[in-house]
């Protein structure tokens, strides 16, 4: 039986959004001190509820405590600490150059809050991907309505309690429900929608937002390639690929979806990959305390249908009752195989081989989605530059997987079908802010150049505007 989720009445959703619009107009969210105070309240609440969130992550996703802290609660608390320390600086107007035509004057960029935001979070990282956008929204002086995934009811119940105990609904609200409630939310007028999820649902969100001319940030997915070149340090590559791929049982939007390994090192790579999986998770990963579970039976069926038993190097076992799919590696995969037709989003790693980098580019270009991430293992700086120049991706790591998301000084976001917009750190503050260009002209002199009558001023104007 699938997990059930509490519902929210349509009138309550409409009333909540309306109250947030009224509250935002009061200006209560805008001062630097109010932003810091609210971030501190959120940090205290997350600290108080950390044990409950960790238990809920175990219940919903079988997530080990270490992974829960690394990628969910600890990640969020670190984000909060950094934001609290820097929001005052981020809020300051940024001085910029002023053109000759508009002199004498000065120019600055002012950051103003967007208003009322809808944040829709996915199931795979229900704490991180709910609170990281919320932190940015609060830092930028906004209000927010949160909608968590109906597939993670235990986490959502804790988040509901945390939010309701910490903030008034007119400032931060959490809406419980399933697809029906999300649909009602998308019919409301927001000033910004931040969605994390699949490209398919992202298109639905964008279509709904267009009816109200609401700007959107879409954090989607795609088939992220991992390239292991002939000069890669294989032991390091294997460790980091296993770590990035099988974290959260592969249910990570930036997990390496498939590996393109140079033919010269293919056999050595596959042998070490198999040994590493056994070393990390044991002979029977189902018994490992460090390996999670698939979110529900429908996703398990979808993922398991991609596994071709004839191509399994390691793993392949499934237990539907336990929502378990073993860490699995497939070799001799072709682009015609089902596993290459869509993002896997599970613990199945496809391995293809290549001889020339042009083959790599052709494979990436042929697949249906722009990758959210690209990973390259190579010691050659020329190869590194070439791959970065030739593969369009949301982000990238050289000689690692996934860890670019942990650097809050880097923008995180997709490109093309893997998303639009970016956040984390200052980039998250920008995401939830309007950058208002402000020109302040001097009054101690009034240059008559642009005033009529124009007479012979055109010659001087041409010189200035060249």
| End-to-end Cα separation, the chain, in angstroms | 70
| 19 plus 32 within the same structural domain | yes
Q: What is the mean pLDDT of residues 263-278?
A: 98
Q: What is the pTM of this model?
A: 0.96
Considering the domain boundaries, does residue 152 fall inside one?
yes
Residue among 190, 185, 223 at smallest CA distance from 204? 185
Considering the domain boundaries, does residue 4 fall inside one?
no
Residue 4: the pLDDT is 61
User: What percent of the chain shows pLDDT beyond 70?
Assistant: 99
| 358 plus 426 within the same structural domain | no
Tokens of 118: 């809808």
The residues that are catalytic are 219, 253
User: Could you tell me how far CA 342 lies from the centroid of its own chain?
Assistant: 19
| 193 plus 302 within the same structural domain | no
Helices (H) and strands (E) in the chain, counts: 16, 20
| 159 plus 98 within the same structural domain | yes
Q: What is the mean pLDDT of residues 156-174?
A: 98
Q: What is the mean pLDDT of residues 264-282?
A: 98
> pLDDT tens digits, residue range 44-92?
999 999 999 999 999 999 999 999 999 999 999 999 999 999 999 999 9
Angle at 162 between CA 16 and CA 83, to 5 degrees: 90
Domain containing residue 292: 225-413
| 281 plus 137 within the same structural domain | no
**Dihedral angle sign, alpha carbons of residues 458, 461, 465, 466:** positive
| 434 plus 402 within the same structural domain | no
- pLDDT band, residue 6 (cuts 50/70/90): confident
| 77 plus 47 within the same structural domain | yes
How many domains would you assign to the chain? 2
| 274 plus 160 within the same structural domain | no
| 248 plus 200 within the same structural domain | no
| 428 plus 343 within the same structural domain | no
Considering the domain boundaries, does residue 446 fall inside one?
no
| 377 plus 235 within the same structural domain | yes
Helices 153-166 and 50-61 pack at an angle, to 10 degrees, of 160
What's the CA gap between 340 and 222, in Å, rounded? 11
Please count the residues of the chain: 466
Across the chain, mean pLDDT equals 96
- pLDDT band, residue 1 (cuts 50/70/90): very low
The CATH number covering residue 56 comes to: 3.40.605.10
Considering the domain boundaries, does residue 461 fall inside one?
no
- pLDDT band, residue 361 (cuts 50/70/90): very high
The CATH number covering residue 388 comes to: 3.40.309.10
Tokens of 80: 């909060």
Tokens of 178: 């399933």
| 156 plus 202 within the same structural domain | yes
């Amino acid at each position: 039986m699938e997990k059930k989720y509490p519902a929210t009445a349509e009138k309550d959703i409409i009333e909540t959004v309306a109250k947030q619009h009224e509250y935002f107009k009061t200006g209560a969210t805008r001062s630097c001190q109010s932003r810091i105070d609210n971030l501190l309240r959120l940090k205290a609440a997350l600290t108080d509820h950390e044990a409950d969130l960790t238990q809920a992550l175990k219940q919903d996703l079988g997530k080990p405590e270490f992974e829960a802290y690394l990628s969910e609660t600890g990640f969020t608390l670190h984000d909060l600490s950094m934001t609290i320390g820097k929001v005052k600086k981020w809020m300051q107007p940024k001085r910029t150059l002023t053109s000759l035509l508009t002199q004498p004057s000065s120019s600055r960029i002012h950051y103003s809050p967007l208003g009322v935001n809808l944040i829709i979070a996915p199931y795979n990282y229900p704490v991180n991907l709910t609170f990281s956008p919320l932190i940015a929204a609060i830092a930028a002086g906004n209000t927010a309505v949160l909608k968590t995934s109906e597939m993670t009811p235990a986490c959502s119940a804790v988040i509901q309690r945390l939010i309701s105990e910490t903030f008034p609904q007119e400032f931060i609200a959490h809406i419980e429900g399933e697809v029906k409630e999300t649909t009602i939310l998308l019919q409301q007028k927001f000033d910004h929608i931040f969605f994390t999820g699949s490209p398919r649902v992202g298109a639905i969100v964008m279509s709904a937002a267009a009816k109200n001319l609401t700007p959107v940030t879409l954090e989607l997915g795609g088939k992220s390639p991992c390239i292991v070149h002939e000069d890669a340090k294989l032991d390091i590559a294997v460790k980091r690929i296993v770590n990035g791929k099988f974290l959260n049982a592969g249910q990570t939007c930036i997990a390496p979806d498939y590996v393109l390994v140079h033919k010269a090192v293919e056999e050595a790579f596959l042998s070490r990959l198999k040994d590493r999986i056994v070393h990390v998770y044991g002979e029977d990963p189902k018994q490992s305390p460090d390996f999670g579970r698939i979110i529900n039976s429908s996703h398990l069926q979808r993922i398991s249908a991609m596994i071709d038993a004839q191509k399994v190097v390691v793993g392949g076992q499934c237990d539907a009752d336990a929502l378990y799919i073993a860490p699995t590696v497939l070799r001799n995969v072709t682009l015609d195989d089902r596993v290459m037709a869509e993002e896997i989003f599970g613990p199945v790693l496809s391995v293809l081989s290549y001889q020339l980098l042009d083959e790599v580019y052709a494979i990436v270009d042929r697949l249906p989605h722009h990758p959210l991430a690209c990973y390259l293992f190579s010691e050659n700086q020329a190869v590194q530059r070439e791959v970065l120049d030739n593969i369009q991706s949301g982000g990238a790591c050289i000689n690692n997987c996934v860890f670019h998301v942990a650097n809050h000084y880097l923008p995180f976001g997709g490109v093309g079908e893997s998303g639009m917009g970016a956040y984390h750190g200052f980039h998250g503050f920008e995401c939830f802010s309007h950058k208002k260009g402000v020109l302040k002209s001097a009054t101690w002199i009034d240059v008559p150049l642009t005033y009529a009558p124009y007479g012979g001023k055109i010659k001087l104007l041409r010189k200035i505007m060249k």
